[in-house]
A and B are shown apart, each in its own frame.
Chain A
Amino acid sequence: MIELRELTKRYGGRVAVDGLSFRVRPGAVTGFLGPNGSGKSTTMRMILGLDAPDHGEALIGGVRYAELTRPLTSVGALLDAGAFHPGRSARAHLTALAASNDLPGSRVEQVLRVVGLSGAANRRAGTYSLGMRQRLGVAVALLGDPGVLLLDEPVNGLDPEGIRWIRDLLRALAAEGRTVFVSSHLIAEMALTADRLVVIGRGRLLAETTVTELAAGGDSLEDAFFRLTSETTDYRGVGAS
């Protein structure tokens, strides 16, 4: 269970996240939707204690992230497809992180197998394709067998097969009773993956709903999303003339 209470973050005069309060429940995939720049990544970083909120708090199972002992065993996170040193092999990257939380080396081999990187594990991660980097990020998230998973744009850069793999993985993790919170700006992808949706725009909560409810308005899910976020999209082009 993830709980946000009036979470707020300012950068200079700009408010990136504005009094955000919602809960993410276990046993379901919750999609975190919003246009580019709406504050999704900032929110994720605050949940993980990487950025300090100016107001409010984010709790995981009732405590702040910084208070978790061996956090990888409670929360697994995929932040961006580059949170590793390019000169280090995937195996060394995972082994180092496993050591920090006193996880056995066998977990490293297990997650490498799950994400399909066993064959490339000794290569320097900087030589990986974007899809392989995402897989390495997912391996880090799964390392401690956590009950809560946070994934920021996990399907970015994946090919159709990779996208389906992520989708099946997330649904399987949620079916095991875990809390799965996954951000995306791809509404169509979320429609296939998520059960519940949290929609934000300009750092504010626009809707806390389910895929079924959002689509029930009569128009397509995409139209419903545009209707929700139309007031809050900062940058928008016009049709080519």
Chain B
Amino acid sequence: MKNVVRMEWIKLRSVRSTWWLAVAAVVSMAAAGVGVGLGYRSHTPVATAAQILDDSLGGAILAQLLLGGLGVLIVTGEYGSGMIRSTFAAVPRRRAVLAAKAAVCGAAALTVGLAASFAGYLGGQLAIRGTAIPAASLGDPAILRAVLLTGVYLGATALIGVGIGTVLRHSGAAIGTLFGLMFVPMIVAGLFGESGIAVGRFVPLLMLLNSIAVTSPVPGLFAGWVSASLMCGYAAVALLCGSVLLRHRDA
């Protein structure tokens, strides 16, 4: 298993798209943070620390698609190129391959996700320096929790991408499905107005914006850590589906 993980790690870092997507995720969150901070500088009434933090983590909407795409490509990039046959010839235990991909991609996406989340926080804080807006300190448990859980959310999104990629095996189809799963349930839940919250609290993007990347969750939604755990549960389900199909299909 250790050797399979080594193989996947070498594969992950030896293609350019990995680095592009990681850099883009961090930059997009930093830019969103700075944009939010600048926007609030001359805003009246003076923004609260919670407002700045909640909004400056909003770049996670884009970062989740980039890191989810990374997860998808780790699998579908191999099917599209024929690499998967070299991989399975070297390691016939297919579920070990999927487990190694999930471990490597999950660790990488969690690291990048935390860096991106921190960059978003920092961008927002730097952009409001010298104004009357109170600074948000990472020493405040509510602030730190939001930053950390946003990173966890991004890591889980990448694993959902790995699962969907394994099920669908086609880059375009898998990325389309991932984007659909991220946005369509939110729109559907929105159609039901207030009562939509009963369902909406299970929807990834609504959880991100109202429960995970915020200092205190919107009423009706789960606590941040519950939402983040739900995301990890979704990732586990996606990987399990992939694992079941992987076993019997021709490569």
| Chain A interfacial positions (CB closer than 8 Å to B) | 45, 48-52, 65-66, 68, 71-72, 75, 77, 79-80, 82-89, 92-93, 95-97, 99-102, 140
Q: Quick check: A50 and B11 within 8 Å, CB to CB?
A: no
Cα A10 to Cα B59 in complex, Å, equals: 50
Given A50-B250, A96-B11, A99-B7, A85:B83 Cβ within 8 A? yes
B90 and A87 form a contact (CB under 8 A): no
Q: Whose C-beta in chain B lies nearest to the C-beta of A64? A: B92
Q: How many A-B residue pairs have CB under 8 A?
A: 93
Residue of B nearest to A9 (CB): B250
Write the nearest CB–CB distance from B99 to chain A, whole angstroms.
13
Interfacial chain A residues near B89, Cβ < 8 Å: 48-50, 71-72, 75, 77, 79
Q: Are A101 and B77 in contact (CB under 8 A)?
A: no
> Contact: B86 with A84, CB < 8 Å?
yes
Identify 13 new A-B residue pairs, CB closer than 8 A, beyond the known A51-B251, A96-B11, A101-B91.
Answer: A45-B250, A45-B251, A50-B88, A52-B250, A65-B92, A84-B83, A92-B10, A96-B8, A96-B14, A97-B86, A99-B10, A100-B87, A100-B91
Q: Is B44 an interface residue (CB 8 A)?
A: no
Roughly how many angstroms separate A96 CA and B91 CA in the complex, as a whole number?
Answer: 11
B191 at the interface (CB under 8 A from A): no
Within the complex, the shortest CB–CB distance from A211 to chain B, in Å, comes to: 29
Known: A49-B92, A72-B90, A87-B16. A100 touches B4 (CB 8 A): yes
Say yes or no: A95 contacts B16, CB within 8 Å.
Answer: no
**Among B6, B10, B85, which residue has its beta carbon within 8 angstroms of that of A79?**
B85
In the complex, are the beta carbons of B92 and A96 less than 8 A apart?
no
Do B82 and A92 touch across chains, with their CB atoms under 8 A apart? no
Main secondary structure of the interface of B (DSSP, over half): helix
6 A-B pairs within 8 Å (CB atoms) are namely A45-B250, A51-B250, A71-B89, A71-B90, A79-B82, A83-B81
Known contacts A88-B15, A101-B3, A101-B90; A96 and B10 CB within 8 A of each other: yes
Contact residues in B for A48 (Cβ distance below 8 Å): 85, 88-89
Cβ contact within 8 Å between A85 and B3: no
- Quick one: which of A68, A83, A101 contacts B85, CB cutoff 8 A? A83
Residues 56-92 of chain B, each 1 if its beta carbon lies under 8 Å from chain A, else 0: 0000000000000000000001100111011111111
How far, in angstroms, from A79 to B250 measured CA to CA in the complex?
Answer: 14
**Nearest opposing residue in chain A for B12, CB measure:** A96
A192 to chain B, nearest CB (A): 28
Contact status B14-A92, CB under 8 Å: yes
Of the candidates A77, A83, A101, the one whose C-beta lies within 8 Å of that of B83 is: A83
Closest B residue to A150 using CB positions = B89
Complexed CA–CA distance, A71 and B93 (Å): 11
Contacting residues, chain B, for A82 (C-beta < 8 A)? 81-82
Write the nearest CB–CB distance from B37 to chain A, whole angstroms.
36
Interface centre among A68, A75, A88, A100 (most CB of B within 10 A): A100
A221 to B90 CA separation, bound complex (whole angstroms): 37
Contacts of B14 in A (CB 8 A): 88-89, 92-93, 95-96
When C-beta atoms are compared, the residue in chain A nearest to B251 turns out to be A50
A89 CA to B10 CA, complexed, in Å:
11
**B90 & A100 in contact (Cβ 8 Å cutoff):** yes
Residues of B within 8 A of A71 (CB): 89-92
